[in-house]
Structure 1
Amino acid sequence: MKRRTFLQLVAATIGLGLSACGPASPEVEVRLLEGSIPARLIKRFKRQSQASATFTATPSLLSLFQDLRRWQRLPGEAVPRWQRIWNWVRFWQSESSPGNAPDWVSLGDYWLTAAVQEQLIQPLRSEHLPGWQRLSPAWQQLVRRDRNGQFAEDGAIWAVPYRWGSLIWIYDPRPFQRLGWQPSQWQDLWHPDLQRRFALPDHPRLVLGLALKALNQSANSPDVQAMAALSERLQTLQQQVQLYSSEHGLKALINGDLWLIVGWSTDLLPQLSQYRQFQAGIPQEGTILTADLWVRPTNAPLPLSAAAKQWIEFCLTPDHAAQLSLLSQGGSPLYAGQQRQALPSNLQEQPLIFPPADLYGRSEFLQPLSDSAQTAYDRLWQEMRSPG
């Protein structure tokens, strides 16, 4: 780093009024995915718990995973001086201590395997997790893993699920009305009318997963290389799709350049209130699910504070879980897969957050793949995206 830039960082640090002791440590510190916990619930927790609590929002799960890696940095590992100064600035601005990891961090279920393998997080004990028993066995099993991050029935608990969503699509119904049909199944993406009219996420597991669902196969099928129909479907899909993007699809839909986009419900549903001309749906073959989890960084403060336990109990209390579902547009796992009449009354008319039980039953989370299966998935993705 240039000397001038370094001195500017030092000046900025002094201007922020840093002292040798830094800010006082809160009783519970949470680094969360932006939008996953409504501000109203955070205020309610602070009021009810009377705890000193710090909540810092981060815009992406990737950034949170990178934070876990930074907090796990081994003692004595060389860190450039300018980076140490910048870390102080960044952490001060976010009300976090640069020397300690927070108590809880949001992490997507897709990242859990890597977090366990890289020893970025610590296992949890169910007796320290008030409300854990309110989760169904299937949801408890989602976060039980062995030391390699693989699913294990008797594995350690590595996370606490608090919100989930689905891979859905949003579309403009007007062009479909003119054509006399509406999209309802993944296989509709291969319809000639949709050629170059839709966007998919730029993510190989999601694209291959929805193609497998269109063939009535599992999105976690281990032997994809033997599926000739899948390879053919992917080549045709490549000729159909206009754009691979998780960020720019909505703008193209608004501008009329696209008719349909595929993305996570937790990202897309909050946008629907601004664009009421669009409709949303979950394909009838079933879909891919995602979950937001609370994890404990490896070097988070020990022991787990009473306030940190209260936060987990707060998230898994039925009333708060229902409010989280409505306000964040992401379902609480307490109500996942339930029949409509079993849901709280204020959730019964939310089929995009809580799809019908049979549709939920046909949906699945992405699971870790074996090395050979991962190689096969990567090869299919590369062949699909290669020109010619």
Structure 2
Amino acid sequence: MAADVVSIGDSWLGYAIRKGLVEPINNAEEQDWNQKGEADSNGSVWGVPYRWGTVVIAYKKSKFKQHNLKPIQDWEDLWRPELAGKISMIDSPREVIGAVLKQLGSSYNTIDMETEVNGGREAVLNSFTQLQKQVQLFDSMNYLKSFGVGDVWVTVGWSSDVIPAAKRMSNVAVVVPKSGSSLWADLWAIPCATRFQTDRIGGRTRGPSPLIHQWFDFCLQSARSLPFRQEIIPGASPLFLENPAPEVLQDRNKKKPKLETNLVRGVAPPEILEKCEFLKPLSDKAVGDYQWLMSRVQRPRGGLLGNVLQRISTVLGLKSRF
């Protein structure tokens, strides 16, 4: 109730707008930081990105060397028989199905699985069923714990989670799949607190602070991108898109082992970045395909995967058939 701005992930922004939890940023067109980023030029600005990144795959180099396994390079590697039961993954519905679509050479934002995916919906169903057998744990809270203690050799998650954890471990490599991955962004948004009646001290009842635009300006200053370039903060500054060539920075801790990764200053190489995608809202046709998919996937008796399938149906607003 007291906050003038809050941080929200881009995948939740549409939900927050529909539920009236955030309000438009007024006079955005008058600010230096504003850039046209929406297809609708008359649309409102609802959030200001302050960092972004991608979904990555991390694997234990020591285990791969011990068992003479080839390094992870792309999504299709998750389906390798020797990695069955050795993978943990976030349980985000769009990321799970998205990995399946990428493995089949399609897009995260596929509108019609039957016409846009080689082999149609049956191919998606078959690949998803195989992925279930490969992944030991679908859990956005504990997937890195499982990876850290060695229960699994491979993990799939957001770079903001994975990179800091990987730096605390040894013999770990982190890669953005060469066929592209999903992009995420953290945004500043203004909570619609004035619609809530409250007499609590600190409650914001007179609209957002007139200083919020100064806060946005501050966050988007060139100097604020330095922690990203020094890899102190995981992710990348939005300013990277204007000046993608990373600076050559002096290594202040040369004794610290360098993480093996194809990320450069938190960003995928240009040839991979151009294949990456932000997740767009699902079309009605895509929701129908997801519903068809969920109705034909056999849910295990209990366990985390069953919860994931239930969550996918819930997120899509579908009535569960399980």
Q: Give the TM-score of the pair, scaled to structure 1.
A: 0.64
Task: Verify: 1:353 aligned to 2:247, yes or no.
Answer: no
User: Which residue identity lines up with residue 201 of structure 1 in the other structure?
Assistant: I
- % identical aligned pairs: 32
Distance 1:364 1:345, change over 3 A: same
Distance 1:205 1:337, change over 3 A: farther
Q: Which residue of 1 aligns with 2:222?
A: 318
- Residues 134-180 of structure 1: CA deviation (Å, up to 9, x unaligned): x5x4xx33xxxxxxxxx634311111111112111111012222324
Q: Which residue of 2 aligns with 1:369?
A: 282
Task: Verify: 1:334 aligned to 2:239, yes or no.
Answer: yes
Distance 1:209 1:347, change over 3 A: farther
Say if 1:286 and 1:363, in contact at 8 Å, map to a contact too.
yes
Q: Which residue of 2 aligns with 1:384?
A: 297
Q: Which residue of 1 aligns with 2:46?
A: 158
User: Which residue identity lines up with residue 118 of structure 1 in the other structure?
Assistant: K
Task: Verify: 1:200 aligned to 2:200, yes or no.
Answer: no
Distance 1:176 1:126, change over 3 A: farther
Q: In structure 2, what is the Cα distance between the partners aligned to 1:201 and 1:191?
A: 19
Q: In structure 1, what is the Cα distance between the partners aligned to 2:267 and 2:42?
A: 29
User: Which residue identity lines up with residue 165 of structure 1 in the other structure?
Assistant: G
Say if 1:169 and 1:262, in contact at 8 Å, map to a contact too.
yes
2:21 aligned to which of 111, 120, 132:
120
Q: In structure 1, what is the Cα distance between the partners aligned to 2:277 and 2:250?
A: 21
Distance 1:266 1:127, change over 3 A: same
Give SS of 1:171's match: strand
Q: Which residue of 1 aligns with 2:161?
A: 267
Distance 1:240 1:202, change over 3 A: same
Q: Which residue of 2 aligns with 1:344?
A: 247
Shift in Å, 1:343 = 2.5
Shift in Å, 1:110 = 0.7
Alignment of 1:32-111 (within 5 A): 100-111=1-12
Which segments of 5 or more consecutive residues in structure 2 lack a partner in the other structure? 115-119, 195-203, 252-261, 302-322
2:101 aligned to which of 212, 221, 232:
212
User: Which residue identity lines up with residue 170 of structure 1 in the other structure?
Assistant: A
Q: Which residue of 2 aligns with 1:240?
A: 134
Distance 1:380 1:231, change over 3 A: same
User: Which residue identity lines up with residue 308 of structure 1 in the other structure?
Assistant: I
Shift in Å, 1:265 = 0.4
Say if 2:183 and 2:279, in contact at 8 Å, map to a contact too.
yes
User: Which residue identity lines up with residue 114 of structure 1 in the other structure?
Assistant: Y
Shift in Å, 1:332 = 1.0
Shift in Å, 1:363 = 0.5
Shift in Å, 1:303 = 6.0
Give SS of 1:179's match: coil
Q: In structure 1, what is the Cα distance between the partners aligned to 2:102 and 2:278?
A: 12
User: Which residue identity lines up with residue 222 of structure 2 in the other structure?
Assistant: P
Say if 2:3 and 2:191, in contact at 8 Å, map to a contact too.
yes
User: Which residue identity lines up with residue 125 of structure 1 in the other structure?
Assistant: N
Structure number with the bigger relative contact order (C-alpha 8 A, sep ≥ 6) is: 2
Which segments of 5 or more consecutive residues in structure 1 lack a partner in the other structure? 1-99, 142-150
Shift in Å, 1:305 = 3.8
Q: In structure 2, what is the Cα distance between the partners aligned to 1:262 and 1:172?
A: 12
Say if 2:90 and 2:140, in contact at 8 Å, map to a contact too.
yes
Residues paired across the two proteins, number: 274
Shift in Å, 1:284 = 0.6
Larger radius of gyration: 1
Distance 1:223 1:160, change over 3 A: same
Q: In structure 2, what is the Cα distance between the partners aligned to 1:379 and 1:129?
A: 46
- Residues 85-115 of structure 1: CA deviation (Å, up to 9, x unaligned): xxxxxxxxxxxxxxx4411110111111111
Q: In structure 1, what is the Cα distance between the partners aligned to 2:75 and 2:61?
A: 16
Q: Give the TM-score of the pair, scaled to structure 2.
A: 0.77
User: Which residue identity lines up with residue 110 of structure 2 in the other structure?
Assistant: S
Distance 1:273 1:129, change over 3 A: farther
Say if 1:131 and 1:312, in contact at 8 Å, map to a contact too.
no
Give SS of 1:157's match: coil
User: Which residue identity lines up with residue 248 of structure 1 in the other structure?
Assistant: N
Q: Which residue of 2 aligns with 1:257?
A: 151
